[in-house]
A and B are shown apart, each in its own frame.
Chain A
Amino acid sequence: MIEADGLRRRFGATVALAGLDLRVPPGSVCGLLGANGAGKTTAVRILTTLLRADAGRARVAGFDVGRQPDRVRARIGLVGQHAAVDEVLSGRQNLVLFGRLHHLDAARARRVAAGLLDRFGLAEAADRPAGTYSGGMRRRLDLAAGLVHDPPVLFLDEPTTGLDPRARAEVWDYVRELSAAGTTVLLTTQYLEEADQLADRLAVVAAGRVVAAGTPDELKAALRGDRVDVALARAADLDAAARVAGAAAGAAAAVDAATLRVSVPVQDRVGALAAILPALADAGIAATDVVLRRPTLDEVFLRLTGAERGEVAA
């Protein structure tokens, strides 16, 4: 549904995209994950016909974004920082306006607007200026504005940036609902949790290209960073536990004194677990909790982008 090959774009001396490739199959949710300045927004602007690429090709919903922009525009919805609503007009006036500009007739535009206002919980505020809306309401109106023509492809450019947790969860629910109804979604986000929650597939962007792509589980597994974490009852056991668990798993264990935890990288997940627990018991070390875990997306992301932990806002 979205195919990009070798997209390049520079702004003066700055290279925003350095050959970005992307495939988003119909009906899936693809998360474009990257730090600020990685090139996510430039990619979305090119795919939504707002910006020309210097080189490369992209097709959205079957049409070339450079050569048939109107065909693409009729089939996409754009939600995010870069496609705002009119703050002077009411929510209803905004939706009717965008419906009319999608060439719905007046009566139909009004019907569609009323339906979307209901669906996004804005019926009560429908006739107030959009400038008076709260952050969450604004974002719901943005979302509704991207849906007036029922587009098969939806672009969400950092849809929850600046929202409180409740408003964020609401937006997530709407995205899941749309995805369940068959809409193809391309989502950019800096929030790993958001990508993990919503996306079927992830593309990690750094310095203008996709450095890794796959399902969230594939990405995590690709790093082979499965670990067993053991939480201990007594601080005095930390060193002994690290030695015993490390020996049982055949790897060096890390000690976190602050949380009374010992963490061991493992290859054979179940086998390692089966070896570590009896060894600890034999050594008379009391464990309060044991977790077998994949690395978090944060860890994957940091490894892939080579960024320092402090630089990535999550």
Chain B
Amino acid sequence: MSERTVQLGSAAPGDVSRWRWAMADGVVLTGRALAHWVRQPAQVLVGLLFPVLLVVMFGYLLGGAMTVPGGGDYREFLLPGMFAMTMVFGVEATYAAVATDLARGVTDRFRSLPMASSAVLTGRAAADLLHAAVALAVMLACGWAVGWHPRAGLPAAAGAVGLLLLLRFALIWVGIHLALVLRRPESVVVLQILVWPLGFTSSAFVASESMPGWLGAVAGWNPLSATVTACRELFGNPGSGGGSFAAEHAVILAVAWPLLLVAVFLPLSVRRYRHLAG
């Protein structure tokens, strides 16, 4: 046994060093995810441009036939919805990354190393949040290009960006948990389909007031609607009003819903990960 291995094994006593290693391991794994993007630029680019394509589709092809309740430009109305949808699409990437590592045996390799077990999850979360920030920046630029503007001041706009990233953060834990439960990379197709009914039964594309009564109510309370409506409010875009309780308290709900998701799915994910040892 070499001297070095002895040192390594005994380097874990204090809580401080344990935290330090957990952070360091998380950073190393975040770096791994970044290296993946550098190695697969086409895949990253397609992922970033897909919501841009949707903006063109909905904003220009379908947008002419859309009316915004209370008046206003449809693209101004659409963009906050597309920002939120971009965050929702991210759940697919989270799921695929975690499920692929599990299926290929990479997760087992990590579990056989003397690293902090939390780092596998925190590293993934940090990487995906970084990716979300880039995706959101691309979408903000895209919005700017099609005539969307934040019209309620910079602090409010920053708040909206914060709410969007909070939604993504919550969805990271949903994606990680689903991957740890389903374990099949192919099942990402199910998510790719399910994000659409989730998106359409929210106020992302059309105002919930324009839907049949019961559907409007469902859409109004859809967690996604909370973020979308709050963003419309904070960006000063049209369509943020509406008489319902959910619409009146959109910002509070846009904080509460994601926090609830995190409170449920983060502990579940950690438990599932620990449970891989059976």
Contacts and interface: CB of A to CB of B under 8 A. Distances in A.
Interface stretch (A97-105, A159-167, A188-196, A242-250): A97-105
A151 interface: yes
Contacts of B4: 149-150
Contacts of A145: 109
A70 interface: yes
B60 to A, nearest CB: 36
Interface of B: 1-2, 4-5, 8-9, 11-12, 21, 24-25, 28-29, 32, 35-36, 39-40, 104-106, 108-115, 276-278
Given A86-B106, A89-B32, A73 B2 contact: no
B255 to A, nearest CB: 35
B252 to A, nearest CB: 41
20 contacts: A50-B277, A51-B278, A70-B9, A70-B114, A73-B113, A74-B9, A74-B114, A78-B112, A81-B105, A98-B109, A101-B110, A102-B114, A102-B115, A103-B24, A103-B115, A129-B39, A149-B4, A150-B5, A152-B1, A152-B2
Contacts of A151: 5
B111 A49 contact: yes
A167 B28 CA distance: 32
A105 to B, nearest CB: 10
A152 B110 CA distance: 19
A309 interface: no
A263 interface: no
Nearest to B39: A88
Given A84-B106, A89-B36, A101 B115 contact: yes
Q: Which 8 residue pairs across A and B have the least CB separation, nearest first?
A: A84-B105, A73-B114, A83-B109, A74-B9, A74-B114, A152-B1, A101-B115, A78-B112
A276 B214 CA distance: 97
Contacts of A76: 112
B108 A82 contact: yes
Nearest to A87: B104
Contact of B5 (A70, A98, A152): A152
A150 B1 CA distance: 8
A28 interface: no
Contacts of A52: 277-278
B30 to A, nearest CB: 12
Most buried by B among A48, A74, A129: A74
A93 B38 CA distance: 12
Given A101-B110, A103-B11, A149-B5, A83 B278 contact: no
A85 interface: yes
A89 B104 CA distance: 14
B112 A50 contact: yes
Contacts of A87: 104
A71 B9 contact: yes
Interface of A: 9, 11, 48-52, 61, 70-71, 73-76, 78, 81-89, 93, 97-98, 100-103, 129, 145, 149-152
Nearest to B27: A100
A103 B112 contact: no
A46 B114 CA distance: 15
A164 to B, nearest CB: 22
A101 B113 contact: yes
Contacts of A81: 105
Given A97-B32, A103-B21, A83 B5 contact: no
A11 B1 CA distance: 35
A100 B1 CA distance: 20
Given A50-B112, A103-B21, 15 more contacts: A51-B277, A52-B278, A75-B9, A81-B105, A82-B108, A83-B108, A83-B112, A86-B32, A88-B39, A89-B35, A97-B32, A98-B109, A103-B24, A145-B109, A149-B5
A283 B113 CA distance: 69
A101 B26 CA distance: 9
Which of B24, B40, B109, B277 lies at the interface centre, i.e. has the most chain A CB atoms within 10 A of its CB?
A: B109
A88 B36 contact: yes
A203 B278 CA distance: 26
Given A89-B39, A152-B5, A83 B105 contact: yes
Contacts of A49: 111-112, 277
A76 B109 CA distance: 12
A97 B24 CA distance: 12
B1 A61 contact: yes
Nearest to A84: B105
A75 B1 contact: yes
Contacts of A75: 1, 5, 9
A133 B197 CA distance: 41
A61 B8 CA distance: 14
Nearest to A183: B1
Contacts of B25: 101
Contacts of B24: 103
B111, B115, B276, most chain A CB atoms within 10 A:
B111
A100 B123 CA distance: 14
B113 to A, nearest CB: 5
A89 B38 CA distance: 10
